[in-house]
Structure 1
């Protein structure tokens, strides 16, 4: 519900602004918003913890044996890495689900969202490649890489 309210609603509004002809595009926008928010949560776990906040579900912390105190104290562990891997896979499934729901006739109009998706998904890959060391650092892409991803996505259509 939180992810819907802070991200899917933005995706739905963006789809309206960018334009669409097929209502299926709204399902794409909804799921893409969820994927973006999950990526943000993964990226910002450490920053949020330093503010005394955790945006990961308690039942999933328990499932992976990651006490909230461990996150708040910035302590990496194998269990934490597994939890983050689980979250990243959930985000990837939402990206895939969103892309599968975007009708071909609306792809061009929705290019801004597709560009953001290329950037966010690359960020997610980078975070994973770094071993999910998000408790003590914030992984980001260089501006040049973002521009390259944007250009590649724009010209892909």
Structure 2
């Protein structure tokens, strides 16, 4: 298996939302974008699929060294080799890769967030920094991409929190600020024990509304000159909005299941969004 095939399997297995979003990008840029999504998945698995924080830190330390090696043109991992082959300047993106890695490192130190400003630090590193990397890979003016890509990445993270709240809670992580849960009278035990109440419904209505508004606002902020270059991010946003709508229609029953779209619907939504 070559490194591009490895990245494809890691980042975007057939039928996944990422698969359909990546298919909207120009063919020449798909290998680079796929490698970026694969790297994010590697970081995520390192912290979220490791029960022992010590083991997680050891793995992250390895990725820290590998990221430095990537910037120096001496990568050894298949994903890093793919990035080295497809990224015009690995050294220029080192700071963004570091920010992404530091975001996932927060998962080893913190499972709850007091308020939204504290949560936003995590969101901007894991969501915003990554979206900026993706945007720069295809943007007409990469130097300006962060300004409009970071809010979109943040919004995508907020939508992901809604979609994955049940699974995250079962793994000991709750990405809803403590003060907001208190405001709606919902406890961590309610989430872990899959307790559906009117209070939980109101909490999720608030979270879904914020994610949806953030996505619409971020999409509107993409410059007209960049809309055609950002088909992957725009498709991701459209898919996230569709999932939020589906969650809302289902009555926010996200504690015991992950509500998803069918592959054919994903294909249609991604295709339509990329050409809108």
Structure 2 length normalisation: TM-score?
A: 0.54
Query: How far, CA to CA, are the matches of 2:225 and 2:156 in structure 1?
Result: 23
**1:134 and 2:223 matched:** no
Change (3 A) 1:15 1:7: same
The SS at the match of 1:110 is helix
Give unmatched runs, 5+ long, in structure 1: none
Partner of 2:238: 118
Give unmatched runs, 5+ long, in structure 2: 1-120
Query: How far, CA to CA, are the matches of 2:275 and 2:189 in structure 1?
Result: 46
Of the three residues 152, 165, 183, the one matched with 1:32 is: 152
CA contact (8 A) 2:166 2:256 kept: yes
Deviations 1:111-149 (A, max 9, x none): 111111111110111111111100111100111001001
Deviations 1:34-79 (A, max 9, x none): 1111111111111112112211100000010001111111101111
Runs of 4+ in 1 over 6 A off after TM superposition: none
Query: How far, CA to CA, are the matches of 2:147 and 2:253 in structure 1?
Result: 32
| Aligned length in residues | 156
With CA pairs under 8 Å and 6+ residues apart, which has the higher RCO, 1 or 2? 1
Of the three residues 211, 215, 222, the one matched with 1:91 is: 211
Structure 1 length normalisation: TM-score?
A: 0.93
> Shift in Å at residue 150 of structure 1?
1.4
